[in-house]
Amino acid sequence: MIASQRHLFDIPEDIAYLNCAYLGPLSNATVSAGRQAAGNKAHPWEIGSEDFFTDTEIARSLFARLINASDDDIAIVPAASYGVSVAARNLALAEGQSVVMLAEQFPSNVYAWREAARLAGARVVGVARPEHGDLTRAVLDAMDERTAIVSLPNCHWADGALLDLEGIGQRCRELGAGLVLDVTQSAGVLPLDVRLIQPDFLVAACYKWLLGPYSTGFLYAAPHRHDGMPIEFNWRGRLGSENFAGLVNYEDAYLPGARRFDVGECANFQSMPAVVAALRQILDWGVPEIAATLTARNADIAARAASLGLESLNARQRAGHFLGLRFAQGIPAGLLEELNKAGVYLSVRGDSLRITPHLYNNDADVDRLMHALEQLID
C-alpha cells in the first residue's frame, strides 16, 4: 500500500478530486519539467538536433517498461484515436467479416472501425453487458470465424467493467483475428504484459492515469507489425533523419521498429520532458503497488456507499481503480453541481457516478465525498 502522495501535487485540502478517468493532474515535478521545457524554446539556439530525439527515446523506453515491451515496439502518438487509426490501416478487413468491440466503448476506439467496416462491407459488433455480468464471456461468445478484428479496452470507461485480455488474446490467435487495445483508462494503474496478451496494437493517451500532459500518448506495435504502413509521412521517421543537412537526400527506409508510426513533430520538446517526468513517477511508485492502493481506496468507498443504498459493480467484475455507483432511481438531477459546491469532483457516465481516485487522494477526500452524498440522499 502506498500512503497518500498529496504532498507531490498542488491540490488544496478542501478539494476532493476523484476524477482521474477524466483528466489526471500533473504532479509538481511534472509541472516543473513542463515549465522548464516551455522556457527552453525562448532560446532556440540552445536546442540542438539531438534534442529532436533524446527525450522521445527516453519516453519510449519508459512506456515500454510499463507494458513489458521493447523500446522498438513503441511509437509516439498525439491521441488514442491516432493509434487506433494506425491499427485500422494495418489490419485486413473483408466483406462479411466483423470487428468486435464493447457497446458504448469510447468513441476514439469506435469511429475508425465503423469507417473501416463501411469501406470493406464488414460489420461492427458492440457487445453489451450481459445479464450474467461476465463481460469477457460475452466478448468470447461474440467472436467467431467471421471475426477479423477485436478492439477493446482493459476496462470499460464508464464503470470499470473488467475484461480478461489474456483469454481474449488467446481466442484471437485461434481465430486469426487481430487484437487492438485502448488502455487509456488503465495504463499505469493496472498491470499489463503485452507478452502475455499478445495484441497487434495497443494505445494509451497520457493525460489520464499516466498523469501526463494532454496531446501525448503511445502506440505499441507488435514486432510482426513493424513493417506496417504509417498514416502520415514525416521527415523524422526516416533512416538518417538525425542528419539535418541531408534531409533532402530522400530516404525510403524508415527508422527501426515502430518509430515509423511516430506522429509528425513527435519530438514535441515542450511536452516530452513532462511526459518523461510523469512516467518516471509512475514507475517509481510501481504499477502493482498503485493498483493495490487504489483497489483498497475504492473498496472502502464502495462499502460506505452501499450503506447509503448505492450499488456498484462487484469488485471481481471491475478494475480496482474504477468505481461506478448506481442510484436505485437513476442519477438525481443537479447531482454534479451539488457535489462540486461541496468541493467534490467526479463524473457521470451513462447511469453511473464514476469515482476514479489516484494516489493524491487521502481519507479526508473520502469523508468529504461521503458527507456530500449523505446530504444529497437525505
Ligand X SMILES: Cc1ncc(COP(=O)(O)O)c(C=O)c1O
Q: Are 325 and 298 in contact (CB under 8 A)?
A: no
CB of 191 to ligand X, least distance (A): 18
Does 298 engage in binding with ligand X (CB under 6 A)? Answer: no
Does 34 engage in binding with ligand X (CB under 6 A)? Answer: no
Does 157 engage in binding with ligand X (CB under 6 A)? Answer: yes
CB of 329 to ligand X, least distance (A): 27
Nearest 10 degrees: CA dihedral of 227, 154, 18, 159?
A: 140
CB of 185 or CB of 298, closer to ligand X: 185
Q: Which of 71, 73, 159, 182 binds ligand X (CB under 6 A)?
A: 182
How far apart CA 116 and CA 235 sit, in angstroms, is: 27
CB of 269 to ligand X, least distance (A): 21
Q: Which of 37, 139, 205, 301 binds ligand X (CB under 6 A)?
A: 205
Packing angle of the helix pair 287-306, 272-285 (nearest 10 deg): 70
User: What residue spans of 237-362 are helical by DSSP H?
Assistant: 272-285, 287-306, 335-341
Does 102 engage in binding with ligand X (CB under 6 A)? Answer: no
- Which grid cell is 35? 515549465
How far apart CA 370 and CA 339 sit, in angstroms, is: 10
Does 79 engage in binding with ligand X (CB under 6 A)? Answer: yes
State the distance between the two ends of the chain, measured CA to CA, in whole angstroms.
Answer: 34
Q: Which of 27, 30, 56, 185 binds ligand X (CB under 6 A)?
A: 185
The residue type found at 236 is R
> How many beta carbons lie within 10 A of that of residue 132, not counting itself?
8
Q: Which of 184, 185, 178, 217 is nearest to 201 (CA)?
A: 178
Does 112 engage in binding with ligand X (CB under 6 A)? Answer: no
CB of 202 or CB of 255, closer to ligand X: 202
CB of 52 or CB of 209, closer to ligand X: 209
How far apart CA 216 and CA 275 sit, in angstroms, is: 8
The residue type found at 171 is R
Binding mask 244-283 for ligand X (x = CB under 6 A): ----------------------------------------
Q: Which of 153, 169, 213, 237 binds ligand X (CB under 6 A)?
A: 153
Does 356 engage in binding with ligand X (CB under 6 A)? Answer: no
CB of 79 or CB of 372, closer to ligand X: 79
CB of 73 or CB of 182, closer to ligand X: 182
Does 327 engage in binding with ligand X (CB under 6 A)? Answer: no
Q: Which residues contact 79 (CB under 8 A, 6 or more apart)?
A: 108, 205, 215, 217
Does 122 engage in binding with ligand X (CB under 6 A)? Answer: no
Q: E strands within the chain? A: 16-17, 74-77, 98-102, 123-127, 147-153, 178-182, 201-205, 217-221, 311-312, 323-326, 344-345, 347-349, 352-355
Select from 104-112, 134-142, 253-261, 325-333 the region that touches ligand X (CB under 6 A).
Answer: 104-112
Select from 74-82, 252-260, 269-277, 278-286 the region that touches ligand X (CB under 6 A).
Answer: 74-82
How far apart CA 277 and CA 271 sit, in angstroms, is: 10
Q: Are 159 and 355 in contact (CB under 8 A)?
A: no
Does 216 engage in binding with ligand X (CB under 6 A)? Answer: no
CB of 266 or CB of 366, closer to ligand X: 266
Does 221 engage in binding with ligand X (CB under 6 A)? Answer: no
Query: Which residues of this chain interact with ligand X, rule CB under 6 A?
Result: 79-81, 106, 108-109, 153, 157, 182, 184-185, 205, 217
